[in-house]
């Protein structure tokens, strides 16, 4: 994800990173060349003059804008729901860490080490959910945070976050049997684990249920048909300005189509997807800081970063 401060209006015109322009520049170039050809031949195909009233494009453009607005809202809802789920995960990880540190009544050195292992499991949960949503293994983080026995148990498993929650639940159950956690606290901590499951399930729902393909196909076809027919409707009224106006209109529609497709899958690794790695680092840094576990420096966004 690109995290970048908004700069002055002139620099904004030439920003490349974070823009979808590099994705659509080939399409825009083809449409511009096509428009130049239509201008050169005065809207004729061989000996046939294509007569298209500009009013038609006003009506179609209005309908297309309404439909694109609907698709954009649906895509942004998915993006924002994903961000809210990961924001809730930040809160819940810190709450569970606090409960483990201060509500488990065992202050022995062995208990301190066990608590640190549980806190590392909380961090491992966030990293494993991240990599599950991105279809990656994330072995380097799991090897760092899990014990060899736990690592062997999650090996080649698909839903690793659920297995890690099981490790935490087993430890809490053991502490309850030892009398280190009373029933009320145990109920509260079990609620925290249920929240983790809810977050994981919500992210999986977004990941496994993309926008209906029929919407994407209809929007994509309509945008490109509109842009390629537009030069015929404007060539007689705009003259040599027609290719420039077509380029501007095409950029608006095609770029929005590309943005809709990009943010509709918020857990990917494109420039405008959610910065899951950064969120996981924030979670790990904050809960390790609570527990006094040594750690590296938290990466802060500078001018921009892709994560």
Burial of 257 (0-12, 13-18, 19+ CB in 10 A): buried
3-class DSSP state of 179: coil
pLDDT at 303: 43
pLDDT at 109: 77
pLDDT at 243: 93
Contact yes or no for 74/211 (Cβ under 8 A): yes
Distance of CA 196 to the CA centre of its chain: 19
pLDDT at 301: 47
Residue with tokens 């239509």: 38
Please report, in tens digits, the pLDDT of each residue of the chain (307 residues total). Answer: 555 566 666 677 667 677 788 889 999 999 999 999 988 888 787 777 777 788 888 888 888 989 999 999 999 999 999 999 999 999 999 999 999 998 888 777 788 889 999 999 999 999 999 999 998 877 888 888 898 999 999 888 889 999 999 999 999 999 888 888 888 889 989 999 999 999 999 999 999 998 888 888 999 999 999 999 999 888 888 888 999 999 999 999 999 999 999 899 999 888 888 999 999 999 999 999 998 888 776 655 444 445 6
pLDDT at 52: 79
């Amino acid at each position: 994800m690109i995290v970048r401060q908004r700069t002055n209006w002139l620099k904004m015109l030439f920003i490349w990173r974070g823009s979808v322009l590099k994705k659509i520049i080939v399409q825009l170039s083809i449409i511009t060349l096509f428009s130049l050809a239509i201008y050169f031949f005065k809207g004729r195909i061989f000996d046939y003059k294509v007569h298209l009233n500009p009013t038609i494009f006003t009506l179609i453009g209005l309908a297309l804008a309404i439909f694109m607005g609907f698709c954009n809202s649906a895509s942004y809802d998915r993006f924002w729901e994903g961000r809210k789920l990961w924001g809730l995960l930040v809160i819940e990880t810190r709450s569970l860490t606090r409960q483990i540190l201060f509500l488990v009544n065992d202050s022995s050195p062995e208990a301190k080490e066990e608590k640190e292992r549980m806190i590392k499991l909380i961090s491992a949960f966030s990293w494993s959910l991240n990599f599950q949503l991105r279809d990656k293994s994330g072995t380097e983080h799991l090897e760092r945070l899990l014990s060899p026995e736990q690592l062997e148990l999650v090996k080649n498993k698909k839903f690793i976050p659920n297995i890690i929650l099981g490790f935490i639940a087993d430890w809490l159950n053991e502490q309850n049997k030892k009398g280190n956690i009373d029933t009320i606290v145990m109920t509260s901590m079990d609620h925290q684990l249920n929240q983790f499951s809810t977050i994981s399930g919500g992210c999986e729902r977004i990941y496994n249920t993309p926008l209906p393909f029929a919407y994407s196909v209809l929007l994509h076809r309509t945008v490109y048909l509109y842009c390629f027919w537009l030069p015929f409707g404007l060539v007689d009224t705009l003259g040599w300005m027609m290719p420039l106006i077509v380029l501007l209109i095409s950029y608006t529609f095609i770029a929005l189509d590309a943005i809709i497709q990009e943010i509709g899958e918020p857990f990917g690794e494109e420039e405008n997807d959610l910065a899951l790695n950064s969120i996981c680092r924030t979670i790990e840094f904050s809960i390790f800081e609570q527990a006094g576990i040594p750690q590296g420096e938290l990466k802060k966004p500078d001018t921009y970063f892709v994560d």
